[in-house]
Structure 1
């Protein structure tokens, strides 16, 4: 009985050991299977490598030129394409030509440069405003573009605006003192010529010339053509007396010259006729033609004055007047 119990116990123990071995094997196999499943899944779930980003191409260097009043771009340059950095001299010459055309204008475009149109006093004593002098400094513009061409960017046109050099409170006193005067004579029977002298004299009457102002006869008088009331009369062209619209206005400009020549002014432009004229002494004339020769002077005195033209039958007198307080400043030294 004891032996039989021992045998049964031994069988039970062996069975338990077998079961434990099967369980361990099953767990081991299960772990191996999980590894087999997990490994490819992990490989499948790996984030694919992103393609390297392409480097952006550098933007070309550009110079924009702006109008300082409107802030509008009027011209854009690509300096490298125009030779900057390779042939700067040629590049600069192109800029100089462009700046000159921009300032002075071309046949198809008006330039930025603008002559001063002087203020005038009307018959009621009110001021008729003219226009300031505007200068586009060409060399400064070229230098600004050349400097900006290295890195690019925006630049503004170097425009210089000059207003008339007088104070509004001066106006009521500018007629107080006559500081210069000159009179010429003409044949009042020659109707066309007389009319032309009258019209041009009216155009310069009561013009205010401030300190530093530049007077231009052609700008002040304007076109001397039939549309503005000018008539046919004799005029000198290439040493010949010919009929032309506006003949006689040179007597007005010459009379004005002989008056202002008694003052402290400097001449910017002045021309003689190709023939002697009888209304002023030899060499004392100033020929003009709209769109051609002009008579220009600058008031270099430190005070303003006013031009008075007195047209009468057969005579033209030009007076220069100023206030009593400025008389000593206007006189020629």
Structure 2
């Protein structure tokens, strides 16, 4: 039949059964209508089917074009201080939809490097460089403690990876915990002190003790502040005036630049240990030292081992150093207002 030929030409093989079904349905009518009527109805059905198929094809084409034109999901990480974009992620390219756990690990590792630093660049985490009081009684400002919350950053990037968007770095900045008006009174009362002896005839070692002691002189340690000896004192190298002297390395005494600064850090430890401080980092020498009892030393090495503590005494205090006649004394002072408040170790 002519109509059957038309159906075969219009439909794909997978859809020809539709036309066959229409023909079969009309055949059931047999005898109730003439052949012309049957063909007319079939013609209408075929036209309707043609139209539906064309619309479906157009819809699929539109969806394909929309998918191709769709912008890829992008997550931008922003520095809240500079408003600069420091990192751009394309989650789909990194396997966000294929392996979520692996994607999370990638983001977590990146956040860790951003916070703590890598061989190529320093991290956002910064130890506090404490304020101090100058010779005229004025406050010399240091730098606050800055911490990049790695877990929070990772979670925010993962959350934004579904639809894209901007994520600000979650930075926690902690200023020193003291009132500026208290600074002038922090030297009023000595609440703890410790003295060690050294051979003042050994010029290099004496100079190194002097320089490191001056570096912690008049430093303010506020409530809940974190104190880092290495951050406060800085590099103990020739460029900063340090001289050759004996130092302990791997269980042996050898000559090295800066030998002697550990006497300053150990004297400081024995002074603040009388108060309610919490230790963040403390190390012993690899050899026995003679200026403090066994186990009462605190070795340091710039860029390596550090002596760090947090002031949990409930009061701000001031560090004072006195060096004379072969003796180094570290005093911890506070104001009369806080003398009875400051927590001591029991």
Question: Which band: TM-score by shorter chain?
Answer: 0.7 to 0.9
Q: Which residue of 2 aligns with 1:123?
A: 135
Does the 8 A contact of 2:133 with 2:218 survive in 1? yes
State the 1:59 CA deviation. Answer: 0.8
Alignment of 1:44-83 (within 5 A): 55-56=65-66, 57-83=69-95
Task: Provide the secondary structure at the position in 2 that maps to 1:80.
Answer: coil
* Counterpart-to-counterpart distance in 2, 1:141 and 1:203: 36
State the 1:212 CA deviation. Answer: 0.5
Task: Provide the secondary structure at the position in 2 that maps to 1:101.
Answer: helix
Q: Which residue of 2 aligns with 1:152?
A: 164
Q: Which residue of 2 aligns with 1:248?
A: 260
- Any stretches of 5+ residues in structure 1 without a counterpart? 1-51
1:94 to 106, 114, 122: 106
How many residue pairs match? The answer is 282
Q: Which residue of 2 aligns with 1:220?
A: 232
Does the 8 A contact of 1:182 with 1:317 survive in 2? yes
Runs of 4+ that moved beyond 6 A = none
Does the 8 A contact of 1:179 with 1:331 survive in 2? no
Task: Provide the secondary structure at the position in 1 that maps to 2:341.
Answer: helix
State the 1:182 CA deviation. Answer: 0.3
* Counterpart-to-counterpart distance in 1, 2:217 and 2:282: 20
TM-score by length of 2: 0.80
* Counterpart-to-counterpart distance in 2, 1:61 and 1:332: 56
Alignment of 1:301-316 (within 5 A): 301-316=313-328
Q: Which residue of 1 aligns with 2:32?
A: none
Q: Which residue of 2 aligns with 1:238?
A: 250
State the 1:266 CA deviation. Answer: 0.3
2:118 to 99, 106, 121: 106
1:265 to 252, 271, 277: 277
Q: Which residue of 1 aligns with 2:336?
A: 324
Matched, 1:284 2:313: no
Q: Which residue of 2 aligns with 1:203?
A: 215
- Any stretches of 5+ residues in structure 2 without a counterpart? 1-57
Does the 8 A contact of 1:183 with 1:255 survive in 2? yes
* Counterpart-to-counterpart distance in 1, 2:82 and 2:210: 42
State the 1:328 CA deviation. Answer: 2.1
Task: Provide the secondary structure at the position in 2 that maps to 1:79.
Answer: coil
Q: Which residue of 2 aligns with 1:297?
A: 309
Q: Which has the larger radius of gyration?
A: 1
* Counterpart-to-counterpart distance in 2, 1:240 and 1:108: 33
Task: Provide the secondary structure at the position in 2 that maps to 1:83.
Answer: coil
2:191 to 179, 191, 198: 179
Task: Provide the secondary structure at the position in 2 that maps to 1:166.
Answer: coil
* Counterpart-to-counterpart distance in 2, 1:158 and 1:215: 23
Alignment of 1:32-43 (within 5 A): none
* Counterpart-to-counterpart distance in 2, 1:193 and 1:170: 36
TM-score by length of 1: 0.83
Q: CA RMSD in A?
A: 1.2
